[in-house]
Structure 1
Amino acid sequence: MTRDLDSSLLRTFVTVAETGAVGAAASRLARTQAAVSMQLRRLEEDLGQRLLDRSPRGVQLTEAGHLLLPYAHTILGASADARRALSAGQVSGTVRLGMLEDIAVGRLPRALRRFSIAYPRVALEIVVDGSVTLSKRLAEGALDVVVADPALVEAAPLLTWTQPLFWVGARGYGRDADEPLALVAFGGPCLWQQNVLTALRRAGIAWRIVCTSTSLPAVQSAVEAGLGVSVLLEGNIRSESMRILGRAENLPEAPTADFGLFMREAAGAQVAAVRTLQRFLCEELHLGFCESEPRVPSME
């Protein structure tokens, strides 16, 4: 008889995958590192698969880990959705949400669809743009909630968090150590890109930029075509056509990406809708508990 997967073990696995380190996951989950490691072992033993590669630099998902991750998100999301639907009450209003493309093409849009089902009286208006533009629209009052790079937003974030980036190449990619590393780069004000070049420079790795784009789908397509390698968030890796690169290709540790959650003060009937979305984002992005009546930073 097939056993159900333990949701507490899945939550630990997802948190470790998203933070890239057992210590960071333990802090987020309010558990000891030993307890987190034990739960990971229990899950691996239950599935009969090694899910994580461990090293002094942190952890990376194995092929089995990448396969499990979206299922883990679905299982945990369904449980949370049931609670939300039962407690939705009469929450209503319109919320204008701005977010980066890197977030918009990951799993968050699917989660927002679930939000709309759980809270049918809340209308979402979503804007996808760069951090600088989102910052301006937030200051002008054209957006209520924003997820963007805190270094490029002229406001105090309600919350900040960091997600690991991964070196990726096409499925058939093989690096020629005698040739400069072919790099697919993000254009525009992308802080990640500068960190990537700094990491390569420090590692003594020569590179050449073969493609530059401000469009995430264009970067993904260039990587899939085998033009070069890039760094992506976990949710933007197309596992059917890409593979994660690392020590075997003598690449340095990939940088991390910083994000912030920003809000404007809501008024009237909109307050409940904005705060409901804020709590939802905290839960979906695993940012810990958000108070039902948080202090919204001043936009002045």
Structure 2
Amino acid sequence: MNDLDLSLLRAFVATAECGSVSAAAQRLARTQGAVSMQLRRLEENLQAKLLKRSSRGMTMTEAGEVLLPYAQTILGLSGSARRALSEQHVRPIRFGMTEDIAVGSLPKALELFAASYPDVSLDLTIAGSRALSEKLALGLLDVVIGDPDEVGMKPVSRWQVPLQWVASRDFRACKETPLPLVLFDTPCTWNGKMMKALDEIGRPWRRAVTTTSLSSIQSAVEAGLGVAVLLDAGTQRDRMKVLGIADGMPPAPTVEFGIFIPDAGDLSRGAIGGLWRFIADELQICEGASTKK
């Protein structure tokens, strides 16, 4: 049997994770026809049917379910090998993070990193945790900070951060009417935490605004369209106010973040380790919290 072709495995993993050939083609920047051909070649090579069409798109067969974790591991190891061999050359650190982490004190951390590692550049990717997870699995990122519930890998470190209920400075909530909420349009654990906290105290609510970015969440809040939950770094206090129990709000939920490196890389050495130390300092992550496994 021939060795497995990485490009064929990459097409299979993308299709299995995306649920359709068209979505996989978009992720891989290829045509649908090219991805379909790669899938056929892989099935012929393995002499097994890996995917089948259903009403939900492309689903894996039993053989596909067996192959998927091996394919993901092989692609991850391939990326790790390339990174290990290229360490002797100066190259960018491909760093992915959620938009919530990218605001606030992070610019200071990046400034300190640039001063300490002048020969190392950064390729920054700002996206949702699920999109970052996909890029990490495909070897397209070296390190990611995101939601542990949405990244398909065990974090090297994790920590909790409190959220805040925020509204415009002149916002006045009427307890007799549903509380207008400003929510993320994409799948987001924060939405569920907001709704659960309000439901627990019997506070009625309604979806007032749904949007896809932190900046548009902030704009909607500043315009007085509703209430949102934000990290302290994302709360623009000159144009927003923090709501509390006196405003009829429940305790604000907490959220969890993690830092992810393929093959559980070492955070204590090298440029990536230095970058993490600066970020941990600026985000005020204490040592005990940052090493929780």
**What's the TM-score once normalised by structure 2's chain length?**
0.63
2:201 counterpart of 1:203: yes
Q: Deviations over 1:219-254 (max 9, x none)?
A: 100000011111100000001100000112111111
Of 185, 188, 191, the match for 2:186 = 188
Name the counterpart of 2:270.
272
The residue aligned with 1:223 is 221
**2:23 corresponds to:** none
Q: Which residue of 1 aligns with 2:247?
A: 249
Partner of 1:86: none
Partner of 2:281: 283
How far the C-alpha of 1:174 sits from its partner, in A, is: 1.3
Which has the higher Rg, Structure 1 or Structure 2? 2
Q: Structure 2 counterpart of 1:171, which letter?
A: R
Q: Find the aligned partners of 2:239 and 2:190 in 1 and give their Cα distance.
A: 23
CA-to-aligned-CA distance 1:131-154 (integer Å, 9 cap, x gap): 111111111111111000000111
- Residue 289 of structure 1: how far off its partner (Å): 4.6
Alignment CA distance shift 1:279-1:264 (3 Å): farther
* Contact 1:167-1:232 within 8 A present in 2 as well: yes
- Which of these residues, 229, 232, 238, is aligned with residue 230 of structure 2? 232
Amino acid of the structure 2 residue aligned with 1:137: K
Counterpart in the other structure of 1:174: 172
Coordinate RMSD, CA, aligned: 2.3
Shift of 1:277: 1.8
Give the Å deviation of 1:264.
2.5
Mark the CA change 1:151 to 1:214 in structure 2 (over 3 Å): closer, same or farther.
same
Deviation of 1:109 after TM superposition, in Å, equals 2.6
Give the partner amino acid of 2:259: L
* Cα displacement (A) at 1:114: 2.7
CA contact (8 A) 2:98 2:128 kept: yes
Paired residue type of 2:257: F
- Tell me, in whole angstroms, the C-alpha distance in 1 between the residues paired with 2:240 and 2:98: 22
Superposition deviation, residue 274 in structure 1: 2.2
The equivalent residue for 1:107 is 105
User: What CA distance in whole angstroms lies between the structure 2 residues aligned with 1:272 and 1:167?
Assistant: 38
The equivalent residue for 2:41 is none
Gaps of 5+ in 1: 1-90
1:247 and 1:287 mapped to 2: Cα distance?
26
Moved more, 178-187 or 94-103: 178-187
Q: Supply the distance in 2 between the matched residues of 1:246 and 1:196 (Cα, whole angstroms).
A: 14
Measured in 1, the distance between the counterparts of 2:103 and 2:284 equals: 18
Instruction: Please identify runs of 4+ aligned residues in structure 1 that moved more than 6 A.
Output: none
Distance in 2 separating the partners of 1:286 and 1:263 = 21
CA distance in 1, matches of 2:178, 2:276: 44
Identical counterparts, % of pairs: 44
Amino acid at match of 2:211: S
SS of corresponding position for 1:184: strand
Cα 1:207–1:168, aligned 2, differ >3 Å: closer, same or farther?
same
Query: 1:266–1:196: structure 2 CA closer, same or farther, 3 Å change rule?
Result: closer
One-letter code aligned to 2:175: A
Which residue is equivalent to 1:131? 129
Cα distance in 1 between the residues matched to 2:179 and 2:272: 45
Contact 2:146 2:258 in 1 (8 A): yes
Is the contact made by 1:182 and 1:208 (CA closer than 8 Å) also made in structure 2? yes
- Gap change, CA 1:201 and 1:289, over 3 Å in 2: closer
CA distance in structure 2 between the aligned counterparts of 1:203 and 1:182, rounded to whole angstroms: 16
Q: Which deviations, in whole Å up to 9, do the C-alpha atoms of 1:34-58 show, x marking residues without a partner?
A: xxxxxxxxxxxxxxxxxxxxxxxxx
Taking the TM superposition and a 5 Å limit, the aligned residue runs for 1:79-94 are: 93-94=91-92
Question: Is the contact made by 1:92 and 1:273 (CA closer than 8 Å) also made in structure 2?
Answer: no
3-state SS in 2 of match to 1:228:
coil
Q: Judging changes above 3 Å, is the alpha-carbon distance between structure 1 residues 286 and 93 closer, same or farther for their aligned structure 2 residues?
A: farther
Q: What is the letter of the counterpart of residue 286 of structure 1?
A: Q
Q: Of 146, 149, 157, which aligns to 1:148?
A: 146
1:119 matched to 2:117: yes
The residue identity in structure 1 corresponding to 2:190 is: W
